[in-house]
Amino acid sequence: MDLSKIKGILDEALKQRASDIHFLAGHPPYLRVFGELNPMPSPPLNETELNDLILGMLSPEQRDTLKKAKELDFSYRSHENYQFRVNVCYGEGALAANIRIMAAEISSMEKLALPPVINELCTKRRGLIIISGTAGSGKTTTLTYMVDLINRTRKCKIITIEDPIEYYHKSQKSVVLQREVGSDTNSFNDALKYALRQDPDVLVIGEMRDLDSIAMAITSAETGHLVLTTVHASDAIETINRIIDVFPMDRRQQILAQLAGNLLAVISQCLVPLKAGEGRALATEIMCMTVAIQNLVNRDAFTEIRAQIDSDPQGKGHTLERCLAEMIRKDTITKQAASQYTKQAHALDYFIKTGASTSADTMSKDEWEALYNRSIFIIDRDQQERAHVEAKLRAKGFKKVGGYGKNKESIELVRRQQPELVIFDLNYEFLTTLEYCRQLRATGHKFKLILMAEFLQANDESTAQSVGADGYVVKTNECELLIKSITKLNFKVDTTPQAG
């Protein structure tokens, strides 16, 4: 069959640096170039022409599969330096197709603009790494880079399960076995079921699509394998939610515990238009599992995770907003473009204005100055921890900070000095948290109260509510969560002593 027509369309698409080609009967081919979809300057393809063009790329077996299933994914090769992932389907009774264009050569980390932590994650021996993003955000490119790096640098066995195979990896230091759904295995679930009997070190799942594949991926990580996979989600928190939501409620706590114990990182990404013109730049959100995030996942406290991402004590994680702000400061992208890719506009504004490495709610200069002048008591039996928190708050700009031990004298000091905010550790030995707070309140002085702990436990929220706390946070090295909690307090209340 004459394939010159499809070759000509592919040649033109490569010339224009397109990422996708769309085919619909009655329309000319459409090219997606830097995210924008535009028709090619050629006559519309009628149904017969389109059928000949699409069917010409298929083998007899693939045509039979398409006829039965009405859907087909496959890889197509016609150019030495490129690979093409093709999806064929029916629409309004006629064939339609989309071709995704990918360079056959795997780019370097620098060219892809991936953060250095990606290389470190590739050295891990066990655990789950998830790459997430919307369609066309470069998930497959990042996954391919990671597989190639492991293949080049580690002596291990890599098994990939893909639908279809998009990049072909030649075994180097590692042994690579690539399995394509449809031709090498009947389904993702079948391939995953038997993969663990094939002695893999690294298991690559092209996409986690349903409960069975997600459960098997988590189990594979739990049994001592490194699992790399992708998920369609717009950020790290939504990625975890997407995984949890496929399970029935009676399994939710079990999956939360498994994720907390086995998830290594979520790499969420998007492609943002360049300020200079043609092209797009990679923006990432990296959530590396820390002890604090493990606690929050275990507790199903997803709303608190975002603040922890930028609080990674080793500096490996960052939110999308922090990444976008850095790209704006480097004049790579515009704020207008960045705002289209964030759901946290206030956080983006904060990072742009301050250049900070951790997030906080945005406030005016006068509001920050008023906050810095609030009097703060830090009550903790651990003198070193107490001094650390005091030093960090002073370094951030707080001017009236004092640290005190957990004893009867500290209660008397609250009565005499009347601080506007009291912060103390939940691990209390002198009195129970409940009794200590009762005695503090009995001094007759109104103040804000924040509880702080090394690890947040399941009953911390109820404890905080029972003692009337205005916030409860986990300790971090730079006190980011504590400062964020302080910014949320409403000090516009009467703090004068009550009449005895």
DSSP states of 414-452 as a string?
HHHH--SEEEEES--SSS-HHHHHHHHHTTS---EEEEE
Phi, psi for residue 417 in degrees, rounded to 5: -90, -15
Q: Tokens in use for 264?
A: 């290594």
CATH 3.90.550.10 is the classification of domain 4-103 = no
Dist. CA 42–CA 346, nearest whole Å: 46
Amino acid at 464: A
CATH 3.40.190.100 is the classification of domain 365-487 = no
Do the domains at 4-103 and 109-354 have one common CATH topology?
A: no
Residue 113 has, within 13 A of its CA and on its CB side, a CA count of 14
Predicted local confidence at residue 459, as pLDDT: 61
* CB 255, CB 156: distance < 8 Å: no
- Report pLDDT digits (tens) over 256-281: 999 999 999 999 999 999 998 788 99
Dist. CA 480–CA 476, nearest whole Å: 7
Predicted local confidence at residue 500, as pLDDT: 35
Dist. CA 301–CA 244, nearest whole Å: 13
Dist. CA 270–CA 53, nearest whole Å: 32
Residues in CB range of 464: below 8 A, 6 or more apart: 451, 471, 472
Dist. CA 432–CA 438, nearest whole Å: 10
* CB 148, CB 169: distance < 8 Å: yes
- pTM passes above 0.75: no
* CB 5, CB 40: distance < 8 Å: no
Dist. CA 324–CA 350, nearest whole Å: 11
Predicted local confidence at residue 286, as pLDDT: 96
The residue with tokens 């939610």 is 241
* CB 339, CB 275: distance < 8 Å: no
Q: Which helix (H) or strand (E) holds 102?
A: strand 94-103
* CB 394, CB 348: distance < 8 Å: no
Give the β-pairing of 71-76 and 175-180: unpaired
Predicted local confidence at residue 457, as pLDDT: 61
CA 476, 478, 479, 483 dihedral sign is negative
Give the strand order in the sheet containing 94-103. 36-39, 30-33, 20-24, 94-103, 82-91, 71-76
pLDDT under 70: residue ranges of the chain: 1-2, 312-313, 354-364, 427-431, 455-463, 492-500
Residues in CB range of 190: below 8 A, 6 or more apart: none
Dist. CA 109–CA 55, nearest whole Å: 37
Dist. CA 144–CA 163, nearest whole Å: 14
Dist. CA 494–CA 498, nearest whole Å: 9
Write the DSSP assignment of 250-274 as a string of letters: HHHHHHHHHHHHHEEEEEEEEEEE-
Q: Which of 390, 385, 353, 380 is nearest to 368 (CA)?
A: 353
Give the β-pairing of 127-133 and 263-273: parallel
CATH 3.40.50.300 is the classification of domain 109-354 = yes
Amino acid at 197: R
Q: How far apart are the first and last CA of the chain?
A: 97
Give the strand order in the sheet containing 471-474. 400-404, 375-379, 421-425, 448-453, 471-474
Domain ranges (residues) in the chain: 4-103, 109-354, 365-487
The residue with tokens 């597989």 is 147
* CB 300, CB 252: distance < 8 Å: yes
Write the DSSP assignment of 336-377 as a string of letters: HHHHTS-S-HHHHHHHHHH--SS------HHHHHHHHTSEEE
Peptide bond into 164 cis (omega under 30): yes
Give the β-pairing of 71-76 and 36-39: unpaired
> What is the CA angle 392-394-400, rounded to 5?
135
